[in-house]
Amino acid sequence: MPRASFTTSGTPLGVTVWDLFYVGLTIVVFAFLLLILKGIETFER
Amino acid sequence: MNSALAGWLQFLLLFAALAACYIPLGNYIARIFTDTKHWRVERGIYKVTGIDPDADMRWTVYVRSILAFSLVAVLFVYLIERTQHWLFWVVGMSNVTPDTAWNTAVSFTTNTNWQNYAGEATMSYLTQQSALMVQQFMSAAVGLAVAIAMIRGFTRSRTDRLGNFWVDLTRGTIRLLIPIAVIGCLILVAGGTIENLASYHTITTLSGAHQTIPGGTVASQEVIKDLGNNGGGWFNTNSAHPFENPNPFTNIFEIFLLLLIPFATPRAFGKMVGDNRQGYALVAVMVIIWAAAVGGISLFEVLHGGAGPTLAHGAAEGTEVRFGTPGCSLFASSTTVTSTGAVNCFHDSLTPFGGGIALFDIALGEIAPGGIGAGMYGILVLAIVTVFVAGLMVGRTPEYIGKKIRPQEMKYASLYFLTLPVVILTMSAIAIGTHWGQSDIFNPGPHGLTEIVYAYASQANNNGSAFAGLGTGATFYQITGGITMLLGRFAPEIFALGLAGSLARQSPTPASAGTLDTRTPLFVGMLVGVVLILVGLTYFPALALGPFAEGLH
């Protein structure tokens, strides 16, 4: 929602290190969630 | 008209409209998810996507489907944002920066709609429609699917199957969200909300200055923004912008939309478990807490001390004058008890205690009535905690809707309840305790603390409203905020579905003389008490050091 400050858009060209970082971070967080699920499955057995 | 009278009339009108929809809409939702036949269009979707609609999923498969779908959604939205300048319907927008693109992708996929950008100055028409608006439908349907799977935990026995996620997702979107969104969009357009694909116009004002007038398919996004408890507006000022929310009629209609499905879902629950009084009990809890939130915020905003606010009939700073203090208070309380997060006034400008109530609403876990689906599974977990507490009091095995609440169910319920405080308070502590977090706090003292706790509480509970005054566009807040949204959305869903799986495996337990009747005013009172005490004890230190300290200063 509205902010006192916000980041305006830029025009980075091509894939940057930050793109790789955020894609990697997304995968890591989802992997962590899957790990929680896996842990529960183990616990349930 | 007297300001207080206007507030009462708006509330009563809204209450009457929601009450009128409770039974028909709730029955319809129940029918959607118990219908054994697939619509032709649905069969077409299953065929194209290779889904077997008749496959019944274990709860773990159900969770994996949600995670897989959401992972792809995050990456897709991120890709669109990062390449929008090279696509079409660009309207002069550059590619979104990686920080903002990721935070926004996560935000819209998790039904949070936390926005670190001004939509009209950052997002192309294509991004708004193909990425953000699509996720507003999808994320809402995911939440509803989880709630329905949770309800099946009560209705099924001796099985570990909770339904088919893809079927629930498709039906929730096609049979519920899209039809209401189409009707709601037409009503908003009739009310004056804009809906076009026009280029931005630059005009010269009377004083000779130049002003850019944006366009956009605003009404169609506005309706799902509210209906799906998303909150992500087309414009930076959200529902305070006249193109999104032109007048008091559209204002009350938007509040109606954001409360509509969450308040009707308990009816669907009652219908599906075969006892409508169970639904009445849960909706009574929701109404009591919502009404208290409306009353509390209205009271503090209207009775704000000082000559200026008294003359203005309320604390008008940060309030949209077209709606006044009553319109702001009703919107603020309704948007924070649901997981919507849309705003028509600045929550940062609420009085300290008014803002404190908004924070408390969010901290409740948004169960009154909560987000679409999320409110339902949230209150069911708390109902289970309540019957457990009641069971301890009378020394009997607690039961709820014919299922025993055993240690395993309580472990899931405890994990569910503890996840959000752990995420919120840990992230807040990191922000307050490190240079990265401190450097973007614009308001020191209690107000600054409130802003930080509010930010993480809002993101973890997938609300999306903000207190402003915090530099959340900084990389630190973008990353920690994104992680908070993902954990706050999906970890509780894992525990809720685990609980549902555990309940579904049980055989039904017939009610006996020692069974607590969960359809009575006594249970409603106990559930309200458990909700307030659990949240109060968890967040009291933060509330005391933030809004309470500021208000009493």
Predicted confidence at residue B7, as pLDDT, reads 84
Those residues of chain B that have pLDDT short of 70 are: 1, 304-315
Domain count along chain A: 1
In a domain, A2, yes or no: no
A40 interaction partners in chain B (CB closer than 8 Å): 60, 494, 498
Predicted confidence at residue B468, as pLDDT, reads 79
Chain B residue with minimum CA distance to A22: B102
Q: What does DSSP assign to residue A9?
A: P
Across the interface, whether the CB atoms of B342 and A30 are under 8 A apart is answered: no
Q: Which of residues 10-39 of A touch B (CB under 8 A)?
A: 10-12, 16, 18-19, 21-23, 25-27, 29-30, 33-34, 36-37
Instruction: Give the Cα-Cα-Cα angle B70, B74, B75 (nearest 5 degrees).
Output: 120
A45 Cα to chain B: minimum distance (Å): 12
Across the interface, whether the CB atoms of A3 and B97 are under 8 A apart is answered: no
Across the interface, whether the CB atoms of A6 and B236 are under 8 A apart is answered: yes
Q: Which long-range contacts (CB under 8 A, 24 or more apart) does B450-455 make?
A: B450/B352, B450/B355, B450/B356, B450/B359, B450/B546, B450/B547, B450/B550, B451/B348, B452/B428, B453/B359, B453/B424, B453/B428, B453/B539, B453/B542, B453/B546, B454/B347, B454/B355, B454/B358, B454/B359, B454/B362, B455/B481
Across the interface, whether the CB atoms of A6 and B486 are under 8 A apart is answered: no
B348 Cα to chain A: minimum distance (Å): 10
Predicted confidence at residue B497, as pLDDT, reads 97
CA dihedral B526, B528, B534, B540 (to 10 degrees): -130
Task: Give the Cα separation of B291 and B192 in Å (integer).
Answer: 29
B234 interaction partners in chain A (CB closer than 8 Å): none
A28 Cα to chain B: minimum distance (Å): 10
The structure tokens listed for B194 are: 């804009």
A22 interaction partners in chain B (CB closer than 8 Å): 78, 98, 101-102
A35 Cα to chain B: minimum distance (Å): 11
HEC secondary structure over B488-531: HHHHHHHHHHHHHHHHHHCCCCCCCCCCCCCCCHHHHHHHHHHH
* CB neighbourhood size of B434 (10 A): 12
CA B137 to chain CA centroid, nearest Å: 13
Residue with tokens 């614009």: B442
Least Cα distance to B267 among B531, B33, B28, B503 occurs for B28
Task: Give the Cα separation of B234 and B466 in Å (integer).
Answer: 16
B116 interaction partners in chain A (CB closer than 8 Å): 3, 6-7
Q: Pick from A6, A22, A27: which is nearest to B118 by CB?
A: A6
In a domain, A6, yes or no: no
B479 interaction partners in chain A (CB closer than 8 Å): 25
Least Cα distance to B246 among B158, B323, B306 occurs for B323
Predicted confidence at residue A10, as pLDDT, reads 47
B84 Cα to chain A: minimum distance (Å): 10
φ, ψ of residue B429 in degrees (nearest 5) = -65, -40
Residue A4 has pLDDT above 50, yes or no: no
Indicate the pTM of the whole model: 0.94
φ, ψ of residue B397 in degrees (nearest 5) = -65, 125
In a domain, A27, yes or no: yes
Predicted confidence at residue B513, as pLDDT, reads 81
Q: How confident is the model at residue A7 (pLDDT cuts 50, 70, 90)?
A: very low
- Torsion over CA: B239, B242, B248, B249 (sign): negative
Residue with tokens 């954990």: B487
Chain B residue with minimum CA distance to A17: B98
For residues B115 and B121, the answer to whether their CB atoms sit within 8 Å is no
- Torsion over CA: B268, B273, B279, B280 (sign): positive
Is residue A42 less than 8 Å (CB to CB) from chain B? no
Chain B residue with minimum CA distance to A13: B95
Least Cα distance to B331 among B221, B224, B233, B252 occurs for B252
Across the interface, whether the CB atoms of B97 and A16 are under 8 A apart is answered: no
Q: What does DSSP assign to residue B431?
A: H
Predicted confidence at residue B2, as pLDDT, reads 73
Q: Which of B71, B222, B506 to mutate to test the interface with A (most CBs of A within 10 A)?
A: B71
Coil vs helix vs strand at B363: helix
Give the pairing type, strands B399-400 and B210-213: unpaired
Residue A3 has pLDDT above 50, yes or no: no
Q: Which domain holds residue A27?
A: 16-45
In a domain, A45, yes or no: yes
Residue with tokens 């969630």: A33
Q: Which of B57, B66, B74 to mutate to test the interface with A (most CBs of A within 10 A)?
A: B74
Predicted confidence at residue B308, as pLDDT, reads 65
CA B537 to chain CA centroid, nearest Å: 23
For residues B528 and B288, the answer to whether their CB atoms sit within 8 Å is yes
Across the interface, whether the CB atoms of B487 and A33 are under 8 A apart is answered: yes
Residue with tokens 């005009």: B203
Residue with tokens 């307050």: B432
CA A27 to chain CA centroid, nearest Å: 6
Q: What does DSSP assign to residue B441?
A: B
In a domain, A28, yes or no: yes
Task: Give the Cα separation of B278 and B284 in Å (integer).
Answer: 10
Contacts of B348 (CB under 8 A, 6+ apart): A4, B318, B355, B451, B466, B467, B468, B469
The structure tokens listed for B267 are: 């009816």
Chain A residue with minimum CA distance to B67: A30
Q: Which of B81, B91, B96 to mutate to test the interface with A (most CBs of A within 10 A)?
A: B96
Q: Pick from B100, B236, B491: which is nearest to A7 by CB?
A: B100
Q: Pick from B97, B482, B494: which is nearest to A10 by CB?
A: B97
Cis omega before residue B421 (within 30°)? no
In a domain, A3, yes or no: no
Residue with tokens 């969960």: B518
For residues B88 and B463, the answer to whether their CB atoms sit within 8 Å is no
Chain B residue with minimum CA distance to A15: B82
Within a 13 Å sphere around the CA of B334, how many CA atoms are in the beta-carbon half?
32
Coil vs helix vs strand at B161: strand
Residue A1 has pLDDT above 60, yes or no: no
A25 interaction partners in chain B (CB closer than 8 Å): 102, 479, 482-483
B74 interaction partners in chain A (CB closer than 8 Å): 26
The structure tokens listed for B355 are: 């803002």
Q: Which amino acid is at B311?
A: L
Greatest Cα-to-Cα distance within chain B, rounded to the nearest angstrom: 80
Cβ-based burial of B75 (10 A; exposed 0-12, middle 13-18, buried ≥19): middle
Q: How confident is the model at residue A5 (pLDDT cuts 50, 70, 90)?
A: very low
Q: Which of A7, A16, A34 to mutate to test the interface with B (most CBs of B within 10 A)?
A: A7
Q: Pick from B63, B67, B471: which is nearest to A5 by CB?
A: B471
φ, ψ of residue B404 in degrees (nearest 5) = -75, 140
Q: What is the ipTM of this complex?
A: 0.94
In a domain, A9, yes or no: no
In a domain, A44, yes or no: yes
